[in-house]
Amino acid sequence: MQEELNQFERNDVWELVLCPPSQTIIGTKWVFRNKLDDQGNIVRNKARLVAQGYCQEEGKNGFIRGKVDTTLFVFEKGQDCLLVQIYVDDIIFGATNDSLCKKFSKLMQGEFEMSMMGELNFFLGLQIKQCQEGIYISQSKYTKELLKKFGIEEGRTVSTPMATNVKIDKDEKGKSVDESKYRGMIGSLLYLTASRPDILHVVCLCARFQNNPKESHMSAVKRIFRYLKGTIQYGLFYPKNENFSLKGYSDSDYAGNIDDRKSTSGSCQFLGDCLVSWFSKKQNCVSLLTAEAEYISSAFCCTQLLWMKQTLADYKCSFENVPIFCDNISAINIAQNPVHHNRTKHIEIRHHFLRDCVSKRKIEISFVPSQDQLADIFTKPLSSETFSSIRARLGIMHIQ
């Protein structure tokens, strides 16, 4: 605590003055935290004095702020660039030239009291391992903590997070379970999907029943943990290569929800061979045709790719005619046909922007055989063989 107060004094953070009349004082409080490494060992005890509100005037500097991400700063010098990403009081930075990193580090340490942690290996619960082949990102430490917290350290493991012969519904006649515990398990699993997209579909499915969970829902959640127990060391691998193309995969599970017959949209996006974005979401309306469900799912994928194009512009990357791979020919025909007809007139207008993007060559929708549809894993339970194959192609693998 004294170190924190000394830093305020050294950096001339405040000036003590009398309170102006009729003004409300903004309260402060101490926040204590143990900073851990990727093995769970305490490396630093931190004390922070924080205010309940603040106001900051914007100043000028030599960096270009990101257009989409306002916490991203880019510094360019000739053909080289330095990227700086800020999260609260933590900073990640990297450059195409090591000298830029060293100069930035020296500059920051000269201006602020800060610790240099060296090469990035642990950040916001993510374990990062860098090597010649690429980068591994995992949450094995967090996974072990969850298994211990919810008492699922013992017992057999399973090869998939969801059985193919089980249909999860409201189960209104089933026996209720502890809502608080169920919600805690779901919330913990949702955080884990940051590095484990292979459990996203079933976690999102189980999350729909948080208001009134039953024993059948708890059983499905415990199966996810049993799957995680057998794949603790799995995570995402980002290979180092020159392929920097942007592409997306889109799929749907037509009328898959037993309770309301709505379909589930699933999508994933790649930058080269690296999986960078994924989602699984129940559609808002009931689709009358399989093609309609697939078309709506492709529209969701399109919005994500357009956002990514904008974000990547901050990194000086531009893309045109970005491909979306879909395994339904009828949905592709709808996207490529500018004429409305009876089969599509009932589809909400907001989804037809996909057609507009295709006509303007911002997006290209292409056919992919069902066996190569990587978004399948985000829409439905799969057999062990198919699940393992797609998991590997997404870059989810065992990390040593």
Instruction: Please state the separation of Cα 354 from the chain's center in Å.
Output: 23
pLDDT by 10s per residue, the chain, length 400? 888 888 888 778 888 888 888 887 878 889 898 877 767 778 778 888 887 655 433 446 555 555 667 888 888 888 888 999 888 878 899 998 999 999 999 888 888 777 777 888 888 888 999 888 899 999 999 999 999 999 988 889 999 999 998 889 999 899 999 999 999 999 999 999 999 999 999 999 999 999 999 999 999 999 999 999 999 999 999 998 778 899 999 999 998 888 889 999 999 999 999 999 999 999 988 888 888 899 899 999 999 999 999 888 877 788 989 999 999 998 898 888 766 555 666 676 666 788 889 888 999 999 999 999 999 999 999 999 999 999 999 999 998 7
Residue corresponding to tokens 């057998």: 230
Strand order in the sheet with 64-65: 64-65, 72-77, 80-87, 90-95
Q: Measure the CA–CA gap between 74 and 65, rounded to whole angstroms.
A: 6
Which of 188, 225, 226 has its CA nearest to residue 207? 188
Kindly tell me the burial class for residue 389, based on how many C-beta atoms sit within 10 Å of its own C-beta (0-12, 13-18, 19 or more). Answer: middle
Contacts 24+ apart (CB under 8 A), 192-196: 192/139, 192/142, 192/143, 192/146, 192/228, 194/125, 194/126, 194/139, 195/126, 195/137, 195/138, 195/139, 195/235, 195/236, 196/139, 196/228, 196/234, 196/235, 196/396
SS (H, E, C) 324-374: EEECCHHHHHHHHCCCCCCCCCCCCHHHHHHHHHHHCCCEEEEECCHHHCH
Beta strands in 96-149 (DSSP E): 122-123, 126-130, 134-138
Q: Measure the CA–CA gap between 114 and 110, rounded to whole angstroms.
A: 9
Kindly tell me the burial class for residue 329, based on how many C-beta atoms sit within 10 Å of its own C-beta (0-12, 13-18, 19 or more). Answer: exposed
The amino acid present at 197, given as its one-letter code, is P
Kindly tell me the burial class for residue 15, based on how many C-beta atoms sit within 10 Å of its own C-beta (0-12, 13-18, 19 or more). Answer: exposed
Q: DSSP for 177-240?
A: --HHHHHHHHHHHHHHTTT-GGGHHHHHHHHTTSSS-BHHHHHHHHHHHHHHHTTTTEEEEEE-
Pairing of strands 363-367, 234-239: unpaired
CB 76 within 8 A of CB 62: no
User: What pLDDT is stored for residue 342 in this prediction?
Assistant: 57
Q: Measure the CA–CA gap between 309 and 225, rounded to whole angstroms.
A: 35
Distances (CA, A) of 386 to 69, 167, 197, 265, 312: 37, 19, 15, 19, 32
By three-state DSSP, how is residue 20 classified? coil
Query: Alpha-carbon torsion 193, 196, 197, 203, what sign?
Result: negative
Residue corresponding to tokens 């000269």: 110
Residue corresponding to tokens 């402060």: 28
Which residues are paired to 136 by β-bridges? 129, 237
Q: Measure the CA–CA gap between 349 and 318, rounded to whole angstroms.
A: 28
Residue 357 phi, psi dihedral angles, 5° rounding: -65, -35
171: alpha, beta or left? (left if phi > 0; alpha if psi -120 to 50)? left
